[in-house]
Amino acid sequence: MAQGARRTVVQVVAVVALAAAVTVFLSVAAVRHGFFDLQVYYGALTYWARDGGEIYDFLRPGTQYGFTYPPFAALVMLPMAYLPWNAAIVVSVTATVLASAAVIWRLLDPVARRSGWTRWFALAVALCLAAAYEPMRETVNFGQVNMLLLFLVAVDLLWLLPARSRWAGVGIGLATAIKLTPGIFIVYLLVTGRWRAALTTAGTAAVATLVAAGLFPDASREFWTEALWNTDRVGELAFVSNQSLRGVVARLDPQHPSTVAWLVLVLLTLVVWAWRSRAAVAAGDEATGLALTGAVMCLVSPVTWVHHLVWLLPGLILLVDNGMAAPARSRRRRLLLGAASIGYALLCSRIVWSWEKDFTGVDGFLGSNTYVWISLALLLGLPIRRWLTPGGGERRGDDVPAGSAAAGVPQLAEQDRGEPAGQRHRVGGLLAVR
């Protein structure tokens, strides 16, 4: 058998073995939620479109949970009301898988090329590992829309914006109109000086919202004046699944959580994020800008359920990217790959649920907020690298797509390959060429 064919057989066997191992792991570790959130969407849309009720009046029987997204999200999801329930499940799962594959491929493909990995094999392994990732499996089991929103944002930041497309910003605008939290990416564009894209984003979100208001005035009025402000519809802030700074503060004193303390933490976090995001874009590292903003969104949002932490996936992938870019057997490579492995393992482990009923004491404070610490670690420590243009000069974030040098493979600046460089300075905690 030829060496290439032998390698392919070994890789196929490895993928099958990994998929089997992940399946066994999921059968033991994954919690079955019965597509709970999808049932809320499906029930609310059916009640609204087919039974003549108001969408925001619907509550899933026996719970306080109702439809919490803006009316434009209801417009996008409206066809679901006319599908059989099992078909709605198939559409939800398929859309999540395809969106996940596209985002992971875009972030991982440059690493595979630069490292000499077989590209299909790298993607297959990554998808298997993603299936075991708790936020991802929670997204699928709840029937959530998280990966679809991440995909829309990634289309702008990883494809359209680096290519200077006039459509850059449309994806973020649509994501913001569907669910308000991706609106922080509008702030990201403003902080990093991409005014045209920010205007496109805000315009897209506004037009989508106005279209929904024109079609569904009663639903829009109820959402913006009542449903949006009804926090009882989303759950308890101190619940251990809320892995945001607000959740940390709420778990310190569930009866009287300090709003002032939370706002101070949010302000400090945003200052760090703005500084690091500007550094990332100045260095041409748009992918890190995406990862930093995803992490800060999870931190500053009042409610960040575990399934929302799919926004940390880009950061974990970029840790692997930076680790593989470091010299073989170097301390930097061991540190970055070790950090990625530990973060990933913790985010697969359901560790925070060990303190679901009692999060008091030092161990409760540290353990119940484990995923918050990972978000903070990514915000503070995710490397920022300068890239080189095909001609050998440095490039900025608005020049060409990050990760697409002459042969489509990122060419790292000298210090990111661990080689001697000229005068250096610190950017976002990492060395960069001046």
Q: Tell me which of 344, 364, 385 is where a domain ends.
A: 385
**Residues 71 and 209 reside in one and the same domain:** yes
Dihedral, CA of residue 269, residue 205, residue 95 and residue 97, to nearest 10:
-20
Q: What is the pLDDT of residue 228?
A: 85
405 inside domain: no
Is residue 223 a part of any domain in this protein?
Answer: yes
Is residue 208, in this structure, part of any structural domain at all? yes
Distance, in Å, from the CA atom of 193 to the CA atom of 202, rounded to the nearest integer, reads: 14
Q: Please tell me whether residue 281 adopts helix, strand or coil conformation.
A: helix
**Alpha-helical runs (H) found in 240-258:** 245-252
Minimum mean pLDDT among 17-26, 239-248, 415-424: which range?
A: 415-424
Q: How many CB atoms lie within 10 A of CB 236?
A: 14
Q: Confirm if 174 and 259 have CB atoms less than 8 A apart.
A: no
223 close to 71: Cβ distance less than 8 angstroms: yes
- Please state the rounded mean pLDDT for residues 323-351: 97
Does residue 257 share a domain with residue 220?
Answer: no
With respect to residue 415, please indicate whether it lies within any of the assigned structural domains: no
Residue 9 has pLDDT above 50, yes or no: yes
Q: Give the model's pLDDT for residue 432.
A: 34
- In this prediction, residues 108-130 reach a mean pLDDT of 95
* Domain end (from 229, 249, 279): 229
Number of domain units in the chain = 2
Q: pLDDT tens across 352-408, in order?
A: 999 999 999 999 999 999 999 999 999 999 999 875 444 444 444 333 333 333 334
Q: Tell me, yes or no, whether 307 and 339 share the same domain.
A: yes
Question: Would the pLDDT of 104 be above 70?
Answer: yes
Distance of alpha carbon 219 from alpha carbon 230, whole angstroms: 15
**pLDDT reading at 165 higher than 90:** yes
Domain boundaries, position 93: 33-229
- Mean pLDDT to the nearest integer, 305-327: 97
Over residues 231-248, the mean pLDDT reads 87
Query: What is the mean predicted confidence (pLDDT) over 89-117?
Result: 96
Work out the angle at residue 284's Cα, subtended by the Cα atoms of residues 281 and 287, and round it to the nearest 5 degrees. 75
In a domain, 259, yes or no: yes
**Whether pTM exceeds 0.85:** yes
179 pLDDT above the threshold of 80:
yes
Domain presence at residue 411: no
Let me know the angle formed at the C-alpha of 143 by 301 and 122, rounded to the nearest 5 degrees. Answer: 90
**In this structure, is residue 100 part of a structural domain?**
yes
Q: Do 71 and 154 have their domain in common?
A: yes
> Residue 397 has what pLDDT?
38
Beta carbons of 356 and 240 less than 8 angstroms apart: yes
Share of the chain above pLDDT 70, in %: 88
Tens of pLDDT along 64-96?
889 999 999 999 999 999 999 999 999 999 999
Other C-beta atoms closer than 10 Å to the C-beta of 369 total 24
Please indicate, yes or no, whether residues 373 and 258 belong to a single structural domain of this protein: yes
Q: Above 80 in pLDDT, residue 127?
A: yes
- At 3, is the pLDDT very low, low, confident or very high (cuts 50, 70, 90)? confident
- Residue 278, pLDDT > 60, answer yes
Q: Please say whether the beta carbons of 67 and 41 come within 8 A.
A: yes
- Per-residue model confidence (pLDDT) at position 386: 75
Residue 398 corresponds to which tokens in the numbers above?
């608005």
Instruction: Give the CA-trace dihedral at 5, 18, 344, 107, to 10 degrees.
Output: 40
* Boundary (domain end) residue, out of 346, 362, 385: 385
Mean pLDDT of the chain: 89
- In terms of domains, do 184 and 250 share one? no
Looking at the fold, whether 196 and 80 belong to one and the same domain comes out as yes
Q: Are residues 155 and 105 in the same domain?
A: yes
The pLDDT value recorded for residue 311 is 98
Domain presence at residue 248: yes
Q: Report the distance separating Cα 298 and Cα 149, nearest Å.
A: 14
Q: Are residues 193 and 94 in the same domain?
A: yes
- Identify the CA nearest to 220 among candidates 75, 10, 99: 75
| Cα(175)–Cα(148) distance, integer angstroms | 8
Say if CB 205 and CB 176 are below 8 A apart.
Answer: yes
Question: Do 122 and 152 belong to one domain?
Answer: yes
**Same-domain status, 134 and 74:** yes
Q: Are 328 and 193 contained in the same domain? A: no
